A and B are shown apart, each in its own frame.
Chain A
Amino acid sequence: MSGNDLGGSATGAAGPACPDAHTLGTLARAEPGALKRVAEALLEDLGDIEVLASRTGLAMLPREDSVTGTLFHLGEVLVAEAHIRLGDGVEGYGAVVGRDLERAMAMAVVDAALAAGRAPRSVHDFVAGEAARHAAEDTARLAKVEATRVEMEAF
């Protein structure tokens, strides 16, 4: 992966408090209105926030050709991105497919709160609840897909 030219410094090796890939993915997929309300509620306790980036941009999506293994570009996806820094230097980052800058910023705020260890129980509950909802959505959808499984018989 390349190109994350944000100019912000990484906070070093991810500690146990830092959101992992699953948590970050859950935040990116969270219901936008609920995510924004959670972030809004955090703002007062987080103090000064420096916005390092709030913008839309393109993510080129490479694809592997299943025939030869050749990597090629499928096309570009529009992504909204936010990058912030708290007063204590902890950074938060959000990136979501689409154009919703508020949603990306809300993700960055929640990420920063979690990374700084300053997220109340309700935020952890929100993330867990969203993760469970996403899993249930996928399970229900794939159960409908399973209903279309067909056994072909040749005469």
Chain B
Amino acid sequence: MAYAATRGGEEAIAQAERLYRDDLGPLTAGRIAEVRRALPYLVDRVMGEASLYEPDLAALALAQTGGELYEAVLLLRAYRTTQPRLWTAEPVTHRDILTVRRISAAFKDIPGGQILGPTLDYSHRLLKVGVLAGETDVPEPVTPGRTSAPATQPALADWQREQGLVAPERAAKVPLDDIPDVTRDGLLFPPPRAHRLQTLARGDTGGMLALGYANQRGYGPVHPAVNDLRLGEAEVRLRHPRGTVFSAGRVRVSETEMVSKDPRADTLKLGFCATFGWNEVKTIAGATLDLSMEEQSAFAAADEEFVLYHTEPTEASGFCIHFKMPHYVTFQSSLDALRGANADRDRRAARAKARPKADRMSGAEIEEALS
């Protein structure tokens, strides 16, 4: 790939950015607050893909880019590089998440029960067009239960392990400072499982959905169902200089286990995906991909290198849109080849026209001509 250094157009470039912002109007603290308040799931999606949890900054990134998601993710990832990493927090486990939604599609009666939580799963998808005519749509209040749900829920996988339905946990515990980190190590293949899960956690929702969906439709080796899906909040537990571990606050998280029959044993296999924010379609797709990538398969959508490389939002969008940038040398080379091929063809055609009998010579004539 060849690139061309180009000159000129500084004024046009300045005006082009102004034109982009001209369409968006003034950026105010009020607008940022409204984005954060009104679009929490979009804020969550951007934080997950940026791998940076800070809702105000995510709302700012969305407002500043006019909702251009890849630009918003890029802004947040760029901001992240300006901040020092001061801590590795205490690990979050399945069992200590404040859980507001927890369902299983594979098992009806699960320890802790099925809790729908905040969802539109069973709602009619009808636009409230009356709002455009001036009506105010006020949500119906929730009628609380007579008791409170438990703050945390047991792990279904633990019960399944007790029943011998899934293989026992096998990962060796590692010191927190030794957890592989794709932001510092880079992604090499075959990657450690920690890299795979981190890459999925910061993956592009749309890309993971496309490849996960492809697997679910048969372009993959597994046919999974949701084993355990959760939305909740995790405590960010840091260490005080006196040594006390305490919660500095909570962050929203999603996680999904997908389950399928293990083709090599009379047990079940589980795939896992978790991410910042409430984004369950991403974790369902991600856990499907985790399951598929464990299998030997000819499907690209189940190949680990294919999946992880092509669902990285900043890398993928950056490469895609870089083709907008000047490629004059590359294209000139292609153009020269094209023109050369056309010229050769024209010359051949001209020669053929000048010797029309040549195409109709008999074998004897050709032999005579060659003797």
Contacts and interface: CB of A to CB of B under 8 A. Distances in A.
Chain A interface residue bracket vs B: 35 or more
Nearest to A153: B108
Contacts of B52: 58, 75-78
Nearest to B277: A75
Contacts of A140: 144, 148
Interface SS of A by simple majority: mixed
Given A62-B92, A65-B197, A71-B91, A76 B176 contact: no
Given A14-B242, A65-B197, A140-B144, A75 B86 contact: no
Interface stretch (A16-24, A37-45, A116-124, A125-133): A16-24
B151 A1 contact: no
A149 B115 CA distance: 4
From B173, B177, B246, name the one whose CB has the most chain A CB atoms within 10 angstroms. B246
Interface in B254-304: 255, 257, 270-272, 274-276, 290
Contact of A99 (B47, B57, B181, B236): B57
A95 interface: yes
Nearest to A28: B248
Contact of A142 (B47, B92, B148, B176): B148
Interface string A56-73: 111111111111111111
Interface in A1-31: 1-6, 8-12, 14, 18-21, 24-25, 28-29
Interface string B44-79: 000110011110110000000000000000000000
B193 A68 contact: yes
A70 B90 CA distance: 14
Contacts of A115: 242
From B47, B56, B87, name the one whose CB has the most chain A CB atoms within 10 angstroms. B87
Contacts of A148: 101, 115-119
Contacts of B255: 66
A152 B102 CA distance: 13
Interface of A: 1-6, 8-12, 14, 18-21, 24-25, 28-29, 55-79, 81, 83, 91, 93, 95-99, 111, 115, 138-152, 154
Interface of B: 47-48, 51-54, 56-57, 80, 83-94, 98-101, 108-109, 113-119, 142-151, 155, 157, 166, 169-171, 173-177, 179-183, 193-198, 201-202, 228, 234-251, 253, 255, 257, 270-272, 274-276, 290
25 contacts: A2-B87, A4-B86, A8-B241, A58-B80, A58-B87, A59-B89, A61-B53, A63-B92, A64-B91, A64-B94, A66-B228, A67-B272, A73-B179, A74-B92, A74-B253, A75-B276, A79-B87, A83-B241, A97-B250, A97-B251, A143-B147, A145-B148, A148-B118, A150-B114, A154-B108
